[in-house]
Amino acid sequence: MNKDNFFEMVFEVVRQIPYGRVTSYGAIAEFLGAKRSSRMVGYAMNGAGKATPPVPAHRVVNRAGMLTGKAAFGSTDLMQELLEREGIKVKNDKIVDFKTVFWHPESLLES
């Protein structure tokens, strides 16, 4: 079954990520109130490419800013391309100035 509740809220947050910004699985999990379920966030992203509308999963990386899920895009180079496309510099499968482009989900609370 697609669009499960847990996946849904993860997709929602990821879709709210502004252009040229990235966030981490733990940040999303924490925002959802399930910081312990950080792994589930990544797991949910596994269905992101199959979800509708598709979510910018390339904007979601681990806490180190490493493109851990690049393999799930089908093309490992695709994720880096998309990130650079947004103005984000990627070096050795890791985001440059990660803390600078990092986006906090809690920013949604600020209208």
Partner DNA sequence: GCAATGACTGGAG
Partner DNA sequence: CCTCCAGCCATTG
- H or E element, residue 99: helix 98-101
The reply on whether position 68 binds DNA by CB under 7 A is yes
The reply on whether position 94 binds DNA by CB under 7 A is yes
Q: Are 51 and 9 in contact (CB under 8 A)?
A: no
3-state secondary structure 75-91: CHHHHHHHHHHCCCCEE
User: What residue ranges in 1-111 does DSSP mark as E strands?
Assistant: 23-24, 60-61, 90-91, 94-95
Q: Which of 10, 11, 21, 24 binds DNA (CB under 7 A)?
A: 24
Q: Which of 9, 43, 89, 104 binds DNA (CB under 7 A)?
A: 43
Q: Given the rule CB under 7 A, which of 19-27, 81-89, 103-111 is the region that contacts DNA?
A: 19-27
Q: Which of 64, 75, 78, 81 binds DNA (CB under 7 A)?
A: 64
The reply on whether position 85 binds DNA by CB under 7 A is no
The reply on whether position 22 binds DNA by CB under 7 A is no
Cα separation, 77 vs 62, whole angstroms = 17
Three-state DSSP at 97 gives coil
The residues that touch DNA, with contacts defined as CB under 7 A, are 4-7, 24-27, 29, 34, 36-43, 45-46, 48-49, 57-58, 60, 62-66, 68-69, 71-73, 94, 98-99
